[in-house]
Amino acid sequence: MALFRYSGRNGLGALINGELEADSENAVANHLLGNQIIPLDIAPVKPGADWLKFIRNNFTGRTARLIDLIFFTRQMYSLLRAGVPILDALQGLKESTPSVTLAKVIGEIRDSLDAGSDLSSALRRHPDIFPALYVNIAEIGEASGTLAESFLRLVAYLEQEHDTRSRIRSATRYPKLVLMVIAIAVFVINLFVIPAFSKLFANFHAQLPLPTRILMAVSNFTVSYWYLIIFAVIAIIFAVRHYVNTPQGRLWWDRSKLKVPVIGNIIYRASLGRFAYALAICLKTGVPWSKSMMVVSQAVDNEHLSRKVRTMREGVERGETIALTAAATGLFPPLVLQMIQVGEQTGNIDQQLSEVAQYYEREVDYQLKQLSTSIEPLLLVIVGAIVLVLALGIFMPMWGLASAALGHH
């Protein structure tokens, strides 16, 4: 199929412009006529004809930002609640969304609905934009005639997700910045500072201590092969990213994140809160239990925890209770297990899961507030270690040479 750009007029005489993938110009014309649009001009889009669009589509990312998806979902809720037809709502959002990627996807969804597809099937064709949980909740709302309410629940879920991610990013920004500055400082010291001291020490023709010789050797290597060091760092970053995109690498990365001191525990609790909140929304919406667990296993955004959730699903399908399967995973503390058990016994498991999500939200919020206090000692140890190495490698030889010179005089 090729991409065609078209222009035409609708029944009211308004000018309509757009793009459509089709086998031929005739197919595009038939599509337009079927939608009461008189085609005026149809032309194939030549590759490379629109360089600005090419750059936007290929270098600004293939997935829309979470904030753009929240905007789309909230606007869909407002428009559908106001009685606006879904095709008109999608057309309006396509023109108003600030995301180029999302605008293109919205246009494709509208074209799919025009062709007779249902909304959930159209959303399912874009898994990079709309996760499985999003699609399944929209599907239930579409089937039950409560699509607007489904979008409202999705807004609540996405805003909760955005808030959690924003708080984690904000809390980890300081330690990331400090570590980056330390790395740059060490590189600059090796490249410029230590060579100046090396020339000074060479004039004395004295036997230097082992720490000093090691520092000078590292500095000489940095000066001679700094470009190789930069290339190696970039290559390692790309290699790790490639490995993380494989199933084995993703599992290793997600499991390793949970073992990072201080931060790993925050990620762990945030993922469990995401699990509880997503499962509560699925059950409230009416998504079947088995499908809910499969959908939520993808929503936790951690392959290690996702496998644990799939284990829970298998246990429930065998007839075990939710509390029992949750206890078997070893993921939840006794208090949370007790809350799940109470919800199962009283028949309001979705409400109890919402309270579990709130419990983890409070835990994450508290730990994020304590993050700086917890990480500062570690950063001080790193800075102190660097200062100690410099003191042993540079200042002690200088003191020794100065003492020797004073003794000689």
Q: What is the mean pLDDT of residues 118-128?
A: 87
Q: How far apart are CA 294 and CA 308, in angstroms?
A: 11
Give yes or no for residue 315 having a pLDDT over 70: yes
Confidence of residue 232 (pLDDT cuts 50, 70, 90): very high
Averaged over 371-397, what is the pLDDT? 78
pLDDT of 238 higher than 90: yes
pLDDT at 206: 65
What is the side-by-side strand order in the sheet with 2-9? 15-22, 2-9, 38-44
pLDDT at residue number 46: 64
By percentage, how much of the chain surpasses pLDDT 90? 6
pLDDT of residue 61: 47
Smallest Cα–Cα separation from 273: which of 358, 342, 332, 340? 358
409: pLDDT strictly greater than 70: no
pLDDT digits (tens, 9 = 90+) for 41-60: 788 876 544 444 444 444 44
Q: Look at residue 200 in the predicted model and tell me its pLDDT.
A: 73
How far is Cα of residue 161 from the mean position of the Cα atoms in its chain? 10
> Which tens digits make up the pLDDT trace of 189-211?
888 878 877 777 777 666 777 77
Confidence of residue 407 (pLDDT cuts 50, 70, 90): low
Cα separations in angstroms, 293 against 189, 303, 321, 330, 355: 53, 14, 14, 17, 18
Mean pLDDT of 11-30: 72
Tokens describing residue 12:
């009211």
Helices 210-224 and 194-202 pack at an angle, to 10 degrees, of 120
Model confidence pLDDT, tens digit, residues 68-98: 899 999 999 999 998 989 999 998 888 888 8
Query: Which domains are present in the chain?
Result: 2-49 (3.10.20), 63-146 (1.20.81.30), 263-369 (1.20.81.30)
Among the residue ranges 27-41, 103-117, 307-321, the one predicted with the least confidence is: 27-41
> Is residue 303 scored above 80 in pLDDT?
yes
- Alpha-carbon distance of 44 to 4, in angstroms, equals 4
Which band of pLDDT confidence, cut at 50, 70 and 90, is reported for residue 235? very high
Distance separating alpha carbons of residues 275 and 305, to the nearest angstrom: 9
> Given pLDDT bands bounded at 50, 70 and 90, which one contains residue 33?
confident
pTM, rounded to two decimals: 0.67
The pLDDT confidence band at residue 172, using thresholds 50, 70 and 90, is: confident
pLDDT at 231 over 90: yes
Token couple for 60: 């600004």
Cβ within 8 Å of residue 374, ≥6 positions away: 262
Q: Tell me the pLDDT tens digit for each residue of 321-370.
A: 888 888 888 888 888 888 888 888 888 888 888 888 888 888 888 888 78
What is the structure's pLDDT at 51? 45
Residue from 72, 158, 171, 163 nearest 119 by CA:
72
